[in-house]
């Protein structure tokens, strides 16, 4: 079984005063508090979500 690639994503910005789509994208990624880190599968849809809120998240190097 091949190991799928993953990304570690940390939330760096607050969703306060952001539009609802950006808030929902954070929730979709499993992030809702500043400083929270999630390990997500590296798929085109996850990359697109990260790209939409790139000003509020960062990819953590392992």
pTM comes to: 0.87
- The correct answer on CATH 3.40.50.2000 for the domain covering 6-60 is no
Question: Taking the CB of residue 26, how many other CB atoms lie within 10 A of it?
Answer: 23
- pLDDT tens-place string over residues 3-46: 679 999 999 999 999 999 999 999 999 999 999 999 999 999 99
- pLDDT tens-digit series, residues 12-24: 999 999 999 999 9
* Coil/strand/helix, residue 47: helix
- Distances from the Cα of 62 to the Cα of 8, 31, 39, 59, angstroms: 8, 19, 11, 9
């Amino acid at each position: 079984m091949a190991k799928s690639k993953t990304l570690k994503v940390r939330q760096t910005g607050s969703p306060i005063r952001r539009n609802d789509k950006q808030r929902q994208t954070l929730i979709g990624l499993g992030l809702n508090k500043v400083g929270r880190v999630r390990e997500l599968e590296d798929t085109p849809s996850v990359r697109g979500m990260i790209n939409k809120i790139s000003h509020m998240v960062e990819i953590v190097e392992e």
